[in-house]
Amino acid sequence: MHNDVFCKIIRGEIPSYKIYEDADVLAILDISQVTKGHVLVMPKEHYENFLSTPQEVMHKVMNIAQRIGQVQIKMLGAKGVNILSNAYEAAGQTVMHFHVHVIPRYESNDNFHLEMKENNESLNLPAIADKIKL
C-alpha cells in the first residue's frame, strides 16, 4: 500500500473536491489553484509517473483530462487549457503518483507561466534525434 497524498485521497483518508470518479480514475480540484478550476486527474491504482503507467491507464486518464478541459472552456469561460504531467523531481514532480494537471487559461497574464525558450544554437540536433528515435 502506498501512502502518498493522492493514494490517501483515493482511499478517502483526506478530503477533496471531486470533479469526476469512476472505477479507475479520480479527478479533483488542485488545492493550490494555479488558475480558477485547476484539476488533477489520476489513476486510482498507484504508478509513479506517466513513464511507468500502462498505456490503457494513460488513455483513461487522458480521456477524462480532455473532457474536463472541454467543460472548463464551456462552463468556466476559459480561453484555453494546459495539460501538464511531471516525471521525477528534476521535472518538478512533487507527488510520486502519476497525475495530469488540467489548467484552464483565461488570458495571457493569468499568473501561470510555462516558458519555452529556443536553445538550439549550441546543440547538435541530428545527433540528439538519432539518440532518441523510436
Give the predicted TM-score (pTM) of the model. Answer: 0.90
The kind and range of the H/E element at 84 are: strand 80-84
For residue range 25-74, what is the model confidence (pLDDT) as tens digits?
999 999 999 999 999 999 999 999 999 999 999 999 999 999 999 999 99
* Rg, C-alpha atoms of the chain: 17
Active site residues: 99
Long-range contacts of 60-68 (CB under 8 A, 24+ apart): 60/24, 60/25, 61/25, 61/98, 61/100, 62/100, 64/20, 64/25, 64/27, 65/27, 65/41, 65/100, 65/102, 67/20, 68/19, 68/20, 68/27, 68/39, 68/41, 68/102
Residue 102: pLDDT band by 50, 70, 90 thresholds? very high
User: Which percentage of the chain shows pLDDT scores above 90?
Assistant: 78
Which grid cell is 59?
488513455
The answer to whether residues 42 and 22 touch, using CB atoms and an 8 Å cutoff, is: no
Residue that wins the pLDDT comparison between 111 and 3: 3
Report H helices in the chain: 5-10, 55-76, 125-132
From the list 33, 114, 21, 10, the residue with the least C-alpha distance to 67 is: 21
For residue range 77-93, what is the model confidence (pLDDT) as tens digits?
999 999 999 999 999 99
